[in-house]
Structure 1
Amino acid sequence: MRPMAERARAQLRAEALDVAEELVVAGRFGMPELASRLGVSRQTLYNEFGDRHGVTSALVLRSTERFLDGIEAALAGERDLHAAWVAAVAAALHRAADEPLLKALLTGDSDVLGAEPIVVAARDRAAAYLRRTWPELENVDLAAETAARLTVSHIGLPLAPPEVIAEQVATVVVRTCARR
């Protein structure tokens, strides 16, 4: 069992990130506002996160990890390459629709950070998953990058329902990944 101080610190950190997410989405993020909403001093936040950038970096990291874990879980839930990509893209689209911060990060509607680190991480995890699961595929990097970019594009400007978009992106991925 973790010591009480360590548990309290982890709880404060989680609560701080939850509140910071609300503030970022509302366009009102700042250390004074965050401290006030949490009922702690700004110094407490600085001790935990370093500075404003430390809070936003932790927030982006948490959001990105959750997003990527969801995509990888969707990929892993299917044995067929096409079905796996339909599930992964649909999961990404639904998650972004349900999480305003994630959508803001991916579409550039946030001053916290741009989409590039998330797209790069999604591309890299997807490519690694493809190599592990289907080692006979070619053009894996191209397929993973194309899928990541198309998915983010559709998050920002959905022209069809998520299921249709997921089917279209999966078709591109499968056609790009020629089998050796």
Structure 2
Amino acid sequence: PSFDEVNQITHNTSWYNQSIYENLTKSSISVDKNRISVSSSVDPYVQNILEDIVSCVSFDEATNIGVVVMQPETGNVLGIIGGKSVDGFNRVLSSSKAIGSTVKPILYTIALEEGFTPSSSFVSEPESFYLGDDIVFAPQNNNELYAYRKVNMVEALALSDNIYASKLALILGTDQLTN
């Protein structure tokens, strides 16, 4: 197929293909007149399941979706959904969102590897942390609900306690978390 045909096919199929197309058009590679072959890690089975799920869910106007399925061992992206419709804004690639509580299980896994235990505890109450250079970090729990007592790792994970997670992250350090 010609570049225009690939462009038409790619631009109208899936979020994954759209992201490949967008990256190619932003690159310095001249693809206008040349045939190129692009290999990707997408698993058509996974991508089709994601697209089927999204097509079966009814969303109200205020609700949208973004999904990435990755292979943990390699980091390969197996499927991607960037929103309710392919012709819309790609929330996965273009949206800036805080990672929020999704990082907590990873944080706790690192803590366990570093010698913390499920019974390791911290007090859950409002607290500010001074990070230097006049930077103050003041995490809050959802709806400002605090235990006002020691909570262990299991409780903290179940409650999605931001104070516990913040203390743990500060003790472990950013180097541990980025590796």
Q: Flag the structure with larger Rg.
A: 2
More helix by share: 1
TM-score using structure 1 length: 0.25
Q: Does 1 or 2 have the higher relative contact order (CA < 8 Å, sep 6+)?
A: 1
